[in-house]
């Protein structure tokens, strides 16, 4: 009995320590748990030794967050009266270890909470960590009673691994309002992400007011509303109203930029060209090389491209700006003039990906351009276009960044590359001594499904949480000084509303945050999972949607020598049991638990599975038709 008691005690102590050290995402550089805790009660006093505008704004945000959930009055200490609960301090002599965005947090049971940093940004990130040390209910927008608002005594030193920690939000495929973009910013800054890449233009809509080109929004921002599976919609008919969409006025953009700045987020604008430009061409048909472009309309989700297995895609309509047309460069000059004035961030993104060139191949204008400029192929035609765009962007005092296709035909002299087709483009750009942001489909395309396609809204691939957590922005053999950081991309063809945008982003956004902030050597999958589960509770309190897909089984199907379908199941989270049924009933933890590959009964029509941790359900009930298993196993 004593031995058993000691074993249980050790487990309890271990679990307690893990709980104390497993609250913060991303994992801090250094975190030491001390004895005791500090309790916030009755009223909360904040003191700061810096009165700059950014620190004042941080205090305002902190007051709002603390008072909304605790119900306690929060005041700012004007003098030395009383002992503050939370002290914010800017280092008089900079701490070289923590840099501009790093911070230190010290919590003691007697002296309260101290956050120190070299810059206001560091204080902001220290405050986000403090909020994570409080109970999950701190995220509630309404008062929560009967909660002990205590903070474990702790000492933290923390700073980011990369300066570029981004999320791309596609607001073109579906328009998201200014307030929804603000919500997205609020969610990302909790996890110390500092770059919001707004994909503002595409075939499906132009989302930013350009005053010198009013048709971009009067025409280009609107399309027919379709519901279903994007890409397979029926072509719109003339009688269907084009009233679905929207755009941001320039005042909206200024408001968003300031909102982001107050939270230490930069906004990167993307104006997609030369491909993905149908909304622009529908507005100004003279920008196309192709006769008949005046008939083009903003895409409503109907098929406009072919994607053969060979990978040599081509357009069914010409959605490209014409590189041989001087009016295109005049058009882009007007756009970038206004965009540069609205966005203070040093970069402008030009897109540059997935240019369907089959119409260029037949264009007399393109052939004349190639002859005049001695361009050997269409790669060099696109490079000619990119270099012209770079000069325009640089004339506005900005730097150019684009997707990795801008490498084709020769990279523009000063351009930065966002590597999305794996990491090869980023490696090549870094070897050419260009700045790189890593954003590969293989790890951080969060429009991909999170679980098996039998359960998720259909997209091209599945990208599970564990795979995102394995993202390493610096490939082997690459000089790290050229890698600015990394970002995840949320394309929204299949994302119709904000709740689904949240579902697709979280918890994969947690993994990204740790990939680009935490020391590489501190990453630990099992420890991360424990922290994710804590943050699910925080999101429940905040009423933010997230995907529970990490609890869903991973399925593999094959056939054995008898011709039977064999089901192999596993989980990415340890300690789960998979319970299953082939008899059309709904399994729970009293049903058989999977422990080895299963041969499917001859006459079964479905398999249902669900995951448990002990007697607590974790995963979702999944119904797998045997017909689908046969397809995947190659059984006819």
The pLDDT score that the predictor gives to residue 22 is 60
Supply angle C-alpha 411, 168, 383, rounded to 5.
Answer: 15
Mean pLDDT of 393-421: 97
Q: What is the predicted pLDDT for the residue at 548?
A: 97
User: For the purposes of burial, counting CB atoms within 10 Å of the CB of 272, is it exposed (0-12), middle (13-18) or buried (19 or more)?
Assistant: buried
Residue 17 pLDDT level (bands cut at 50, 70, 90): very low
pLDDT at residue 20, as a whole number? 43
Q: Given this model, what pLDDT does residue 635 score? A: 86
Of 354, 380, 452, 540, the active-site residue reads: 354
Residue 252 is predicted with a pLDDT of 98
The predicted-structure confidence for 143-182, as pLDDT tens digits, reads as follows: 999 999 999 999 999 999 999 999 999 999 999 999 999 9
Residue 14 pLDDT > 90, yes or no?
no
Average pLDDT, the chain: 94
**Confidence category of residue 16, pLDDT binned at 50, 70, 90:** very low
pLDDT of 560 over the 50 cut = yes
Bridge partners (DSSP) of residue 11 are: none
Residues 246, 235 contacting (CB under 8 angstroms): no
pLDDT for 310 equals 80
pTM for the full predicted model: 0.95
Question: Each residue of 345-386: pLDDT tens digit?
Answer: 999 999 999 999 999 999 999 999 999 999 999 999 999 999
> Is 479 known to be catalytic?
no
Q: What share of the chain in percent tops pLDDT 90?
A: 92
Q: What is the pLDDT of residue 490?
A: 98
Q: Where are the domains of the chain?
A: 28-158, 164-518, 552-633
| The 554-559 sheet, strands edge to edge | 554-559, 565-570, 598-599
Identify the active-site residue in 174, 197, 199, 276.
276
Nearest to 446 by CA among 461, 424, 427, 429: 461
**What is 552-633's CATH number?**
2.60.40
Each residue's pLDDT tens digit, 577-598: 999 999 999 999 999 999 999 9
Burial 93-132 (b: 16+ CB within 10 A, else e): eebeebbebbbbbbbbeeebbbbbbbbbbbbbbbbbbbbb
The pLDDT value given to residue 77: 87
Burial of 570 (0-12, 13-18, 19+ CB in 10 A): exposed
Among the listed residues 546, 632, 536, the one whose alpha carbon sits nearest the alpha carbon of residue 23: 536
pLDDT above 80: residue 108 = yes
Rounded to an integer, the average pLDDT of 619-636 is 93
- When pLDDT is cut at 50, 70 and 90, the band that residue 5 belongs to is very low
Query: Which CATH topology does 164-518 take?
Result: TIM Barrel (3.20.20)
The pLDDT tens digits of the residues spanning 531-552 come to 999 999 999 999 999 999 999 9
- Position 81 scores a pLDDT of 62
Does 503 score more than 90 pLDDT?
Answer: yes
- The values of phi and psi at residue 200, to 5°, are -95, -15
Residue 1 pLDDT > 50: no
Predicted pLDDT of residue 374: 97
Looking at residue 8, its pLDDT comes to: 36
Q: What integer pLDDT is reported at residue 80 of this predicted model?
A: 64
Q: Known catalytic residue: 276?
A: yes
Active site residue 170: no
What's the pLDDT band for 2 if we cut at 50, 70, 90? very low
Q: Which entry of 119, 158, 202, 390 is annotated as an active-site residue?
A: 202
Task: Determine contact, residues 359/320, Cβ cutoff 8 Å.
Answer: yes
**Shared fold status for 164-518 and 552-633:** no
CATH class of residue range 28-158: alpha beta
pLDDT in tens, 259-309: 999 999 999 999 999 999 999 999 999 999 999 999 999 999 999 999 998
């Amino acid at each position: 009995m004593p031995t058993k008691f000691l074993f249980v005690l050790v487990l309890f102590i271990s679990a307690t320590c893990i709980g104390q050290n497993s609250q913060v995402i991303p994992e801090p550089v250094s975190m030491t748990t001390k004895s005791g805790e500090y309790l916030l009660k009755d009223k909360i006093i904040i003191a700061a030794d810096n009165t700059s505008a950014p620190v004042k704004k941080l205090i305002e945000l902190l007051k709002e967050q603390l008072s909304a959930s605790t119900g306690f009055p929060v005041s700012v200490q004007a003098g030395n009266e009383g002992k503050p609960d939370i002290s914010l301090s800017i280092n008089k002599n900079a701490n070289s270890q923590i840099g501009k965005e790093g911070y230190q947090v010290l919590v003691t049971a007697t002296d309260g909470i101290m956050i120190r940093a070299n810059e206001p940004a560091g204080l902001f990130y220290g405050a986000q960590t403090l909020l994570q040390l409080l109970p999950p209910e701190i995220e509630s927008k309404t008062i929560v009673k009967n909660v002990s608002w205590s903070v474990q005594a702790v000492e933290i030193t923390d700073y980011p691994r990369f300066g570029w920690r981004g999320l791309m939000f596609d607001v073109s495929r579906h328009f998201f309002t200014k307030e929804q973009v603000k919500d997205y910013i609020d969610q990302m800054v909790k996890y110390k992400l500092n770059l919001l890449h707004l994909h503002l233009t595409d075939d499906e809509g132009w989302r930013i007011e350009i005053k010198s080109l009013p048709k971009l929004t009067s025409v280009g921002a609107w399309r027919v509303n379709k519901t279903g599976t994007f890409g397979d919609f029926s072509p719109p008919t003339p009688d269907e109203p084009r009233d679905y969409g929207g755009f941001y006025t320039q005042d909206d953009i200024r408001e968003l930029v300031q909102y982001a700045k107050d939270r230490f987020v930069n906004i990167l604008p993307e104006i997609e060209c030369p491909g993905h430009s149908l909304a622009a061409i529908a507005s100004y048909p003279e920008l196309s090389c192709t006769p008949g472009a005046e008939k083009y309309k903003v895409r409503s989700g109907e098929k406009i491209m072919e994607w053969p297995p060979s990978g040599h895609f081509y357009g069914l309509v010409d959605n490209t700006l014409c590189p041989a047309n001087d009016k295109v460069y005049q058009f882009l000059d007007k756009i970038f003039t206004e965009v540069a004035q609205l966005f203070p961030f040093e970069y402008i993104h030009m897109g540059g990906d997935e240019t369907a060139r089959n119409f260029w191949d037949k264009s007399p204008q393109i052939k004349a351009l190639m002859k005049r400029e001695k361009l050997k192929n269409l790669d060099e035609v696109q490079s000619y276009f990119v270099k012209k765009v770079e000069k325009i962007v640089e004339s506005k005092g900005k730097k150019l960044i684009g997707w990795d296709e801008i490498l084709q035909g020769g990279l523009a002299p000063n351009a930065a590359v966002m590597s999305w087709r794996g990491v090869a483009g980023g490696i090549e750009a870094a070897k050419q001594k260009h700045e790189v942001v890593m954003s590969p489909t293989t790890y951080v395309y969060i429009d991909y499904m999170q679980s098996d396609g039998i359960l998720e809204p259909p997209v091209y691939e599945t990208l599970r949480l564990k795979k995102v957590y394995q993202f390493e922005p610096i490939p082997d053999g690459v000089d790290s000084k050229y890698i600015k950081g990394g970002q995840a991309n949320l394309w929204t063809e299949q994302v119709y509303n904000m709740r689904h945008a949240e579902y697709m982003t979280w918890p994969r956004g947690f993994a990204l945050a740790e990939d680009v902030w935490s020391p590489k050597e501190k990453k630990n999958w099992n420890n991360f999972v424990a922290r994710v589960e804590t943050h699910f509770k925080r999101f429940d309190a905040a009423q933010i949607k997230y995907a529970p897909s990490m609890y869903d089984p991973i399925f593999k199907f094959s056939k054995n020598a008898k011709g039977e379908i064999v089901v192999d199941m596993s989980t990415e989270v340890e300690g789960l049991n998979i319970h299953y049924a082939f008899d059309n009933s709904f399994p729970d933890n009293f049903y058989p638990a999977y422990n080895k590959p299963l041969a499917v009964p001859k006459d079964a029509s479905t398999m249902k599975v669900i995951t448990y941790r002990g007697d607590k359900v974790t995963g979702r009930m999944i119904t797998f038709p045997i017909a689908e298993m046969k397809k995947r196993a190659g059984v006819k």
